[in-house]
């Protein structure tokens, strides 16, 4: 019985080592999404462990009579597919503020919103310090009128990696 447990532990350690990948300590760049018009967001990723990281995105939207900002935080697990290709999944939350001026619909309005966020994506880590990714982020409105519906955000990100 002891041999079976020892072999099982060695097997799990070996698989974990084989699937390990390099996550950069820091990455900063732009996330080009389509959710509620937030278009581009400044994006920062911080490595937490060998297979986990935290991503923070800050987006701002400014229109003639409408503006909004959103701050999202996502905890991610990262798995290696092959070479520089990884896929990742995670969860988090977003908070923001919006304001509609009087000229937009005749009535000014503003408010705060809070979202629960999911995240799944694929990325390629180049030999140079560049990371490109494509991800899908469903956002579920919890509080507020602006983010009360379920929104589906598809985005392309380009980030510079550094230690």
pTM of the prediction?
A: 0.79
Q: Give the mean model confidence (pLDDT) for residues 133-159.
A: 85
Domain that holds residue 153: 2-162
Question: Per residue in 89-135, pLDDT tens?
Answer: 999 999 999 888 775 555 777 889 999 999 999 999 999 999 999 99
- For residue 10, give the CATH number of its domain: 2.40.160.20
Q: Give the mean model confidence (pLDDT) for residues 63-86.
A: 90
Residue 52 structure tokens: 């986990």
pLDDT of residue 66: 75
Q: How many separate domains does the chain show?
A: 1
Name the β-bridge partners of 161: 27
């Amino acid at each position: 019985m002891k041999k079976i447990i020892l072999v099982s532990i060695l097997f799990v350690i070996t698989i974990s080592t084989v699937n390990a990948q390099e996550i950069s300590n820091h990455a900063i760049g732009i996330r080009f999404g389509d959710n509620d018009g937030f278009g581009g967001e400044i994006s920062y990723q911080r490595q937490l462990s060998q297979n986990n990281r935290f991503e923070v995105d800050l987006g701002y939207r400014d229109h003639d009579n409408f503006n909004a900002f959103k701050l999202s935080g996502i905890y991610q697990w990262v798995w290696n597919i092959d070479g520089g290709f990884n896929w990742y999944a995670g969860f988090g939350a977003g908070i923001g503020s919006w304001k509609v001026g009087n000229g937009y619909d005749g009535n000014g309005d503003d408010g705060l919103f809070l979202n629960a966020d999911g995240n799944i994506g694929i990325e390629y880590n180049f030999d140079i310090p560049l990371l490109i990714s494509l991800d899908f982020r469903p956002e579920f409105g919890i509080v507020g009128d602006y983010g009360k519906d379920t929104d589906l955000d598809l985005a392309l990100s380009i980030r510079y990696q550094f230690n």
